[in-house]
Amino acid sequence: MSSTRSPLCAVALFAFVVLVVAFSTRNWRSEDAKKTLLEELRARQQEILPFYPTKDGDTLSGTSAGSDVDAVACSQLARMQIAALLGSGYTKTVVQALLPPGPSVALKSVNHRGSDMRQCLEQFHDPMGCHQLVSFKLKKEIILLQRLQHPNIIKLKGHCQDGRTGRGITAILEQGTPLEMIQLLQSPWEERFRVCLGLVRLLHYLSQSPLGSVALLDFQSRQFVLVDGELKLTDLDDANVKEPTCQSDSDCMLQFPLRNFSFHCSEQRICEGMNEMRNLYNAYRYFFMYLLPHQAPPMLQPLVKEIMNSTGELKKGIASTLEAFEEILHIFKSGHHLENLPPLVIRDYVAVRGVSSVGSVNYRCWPSYSHQGCVLSVHSVTEAADICRSQPQCSSFTVQDQRTWTGRLLASFQSSFSHLVPDVNSVVYVRKMKASLVQAL
Ligand SMILES: Nc1ncnc2c1ncn2[C@@H]1O[C@H](COP(=O)(O)OP(=O)(O)O)[C@@H](O)[C@H]1O
Ligand SMILES: [Mg+2]
């Protein structure tokens, strides 16, 4: 009996020892994980502290807008109706919320299904702790949105702790539409230039912001939205507010997949100007390269080429780049780039004022402001007449009082129409050979 019992005892004892070791290792490991998580939480807290206007403040101030009429109070959050999912990323989820009679807003909160949350749970198995950790990114974004205010940064209308969903911190933002590069590529040059100009104005502001020179580490089109055609930065949690520190010039390398740039390590041991240049090169490779050269007005092409050259090689900083963009805008608005247009081209058309055409047979042109027909922006009726002359299908065009963001007129080109109706805001220009048709109407 004892001979059969002793091996059993040995096995049991062995199993017991294994269990105790496994249990204490697990305990030790979970203690270790807890410590690491606490350290990470502390580090995130430390990271955002310098952004507060007062040294001791670690709570976010009421609303970004203060007495701003746009401000939305947290009490209003309970009455909001969630209408649609606007987008989500590794860290955050954004939904559209309706608050009649005001405009709808975007609510940003932690994405509990995002990669940030998932990775944290895999490492720490602590839902509460992970929620806190990921929330710090949204807190950082809120405080940065409060401190950095610019027409090309999304407007923070308010923020709430433990909002209606009970899902922690919520940022209330003006609503935009996600920036779709494919869609932008098909839009008129004027709109694409607007996006690039907005980006350059934003980067100029960030290079000398109240917090210092800010680098956007995660610089992709999905971090921006459009509000009425204007580009706005919405994702700020990966912004870096300090210039990198260094010991020597070799520490100041900017590395991109196809290019490297080196910078100077200053006496203060920082890579001076590196944040600004990082942003500028990213603007070149993610935006300018796709949006700027294609279909630029012929007379403006040399200036555009110059910008492509100087940003692609980082020959100039953001201030000179902004100047070059503003110069293009000035010329484009003034119409100086059209000085070579034949002025008499308008003589080929009869102007019928106070009417618009009905039953038009439209043809498509590219890139048109309307998918249904050929709608282009023009500086003057002469430019519209010149376009109509160059398009074989065009027999008339209509100019309305609607204008684009640069103040140019919108002209709609047609191949024919059935009749004219009164419309005080519109003038129809008919090619002379077709004018007899109009006299008959
Ligand atoms: N104000 C807004 N209006 C409309 N959509 C938005 C707005 N802010 C963000 N989004 C959309 O939500 C997505 C996720 O937001 P973002 O702040 O980039 O989160 P993450 O840090 O997880 O990337 C964005 O890619 C964008 O498409
Ligand atoms: Mg994002």
Same domain assignment for residues 216 and 281: yes
- Asked if residues 65 and 59 have their Cβ atoms less than 8 Å apart, the reply is no
Same domain assignment for residues 165 and 215: no
Same domain assignment for residues 270 and 318: yes
Predicted local distance difference test score (pLDDT) of residue 63 = 47
Same domain assignment for residues 211 and 322: yes
Active-site position among 126, 218, 251, 423: 218
C-alpha–C-alpha distance, residues 185 and 188, integer Å? 8
- Alpha helical stretches, state H, 49-148: 74-77, 115-124, 127-147
Last residue of one domain, picked from the residues 338, 371, 391: 338
- Structural domain including 306 reads 178-338
Helix (H, G, I), strand (E, B) or coil at 204: helix
Low-confidence ranges of the chain (pLDDT < 50): 1-4, 57-58, 63-67, 435, 440-441
Q: Ligand 1 pocket, 221 CB below 6 A?
A: no
Q: Looking at ligand 1, which atom is closest to the CA of residue 89?
A: 22
Same domain assignment for residues 204 and 332: yes
C-alpha–C-alpha distance, residues 365 and 382, integer Å? 19
Distance 382 CA to ligand 2 centre (A): 45
C-alpha–C-alpha distance, residues 354 and 357, integer Å? 10
Q: Ligand 1 pocket, 222 CB below 6 A?
A: yes
Same domain assignment for residues 244 and 316: yes
Instruction: Assess if residue 36 is contained within a domain.
Output: no
- Residue 314's region, left for phi above 0, alpha for psi from -120 to 50, else beta, is left
Predicted local distance difference test score (pLDDT) of residue 5 = 57
Ligand nearest to the CA of 137: 1
Same domain assignment for residues 111 and 164: yes
Domain of residue 223, CATH code:
1.10.510.10
Distance 179 CA to ligand 1 centre (A): 10
Catalytic residue status for 218: yes
Instruction: Assess if residue 19 is contained within a domain.
Output: no
Nearest CA residue ID for atom 17, ligand 1: 235
Q: Ligand 1 pocket, 116 CB below 6 A?
A: no
Q: Ligand 1 pocket, 154 CB below 6 A?
A: yes
Q: Ligand 1 pocket, 237 CB below 6 A?
A: yes
Q: Ligand 1 pocket, 144 CB below 6 A?
A: no
Q: Ligand 1 pocket, 379 CB below 6 A?
A: no
Instruction: Assess if residue 206 is contained within a domain.
Output: yes
Predicted local distance difference test score (pLDDT) of residue 372 = 85
Same domain assignment for residues 226 and 311: yes
Same domain assignment for residues 326 and 213: yes
Domain of residue 99, CATH code:
3.30.200.20
Pocket test for ligand 1, best of 64, 82, 86, 109 (most atoms within 8 A of CB): 86
Torsion of CA 10, 16, 18, 22, to 10 degrees: 180
Q: Ligand 1 pocket, 134 CB below 6 A?
A: no
DSSP code per residue over 367-409:
T-SSSSSEEEEESSHHHHHHHHHH-TT-SEEEEEEEE-TTSPE
Distance 216 CA to ligand 1 centre (A): 15
Distance 255 CA to ligand 1 centre (A): 27
Distance 141 CA to ligand 1 centre (A): 12
Distance 223 CA to ligand 1 centre (A): 6
Q: Looking at ligand 1, which atom is closest to the CA of residue 223?
A: 18
Give the number of domains in the chain. Answer: 3
Instruction: Assess if residue 43 is contained within a domain.
Output: no
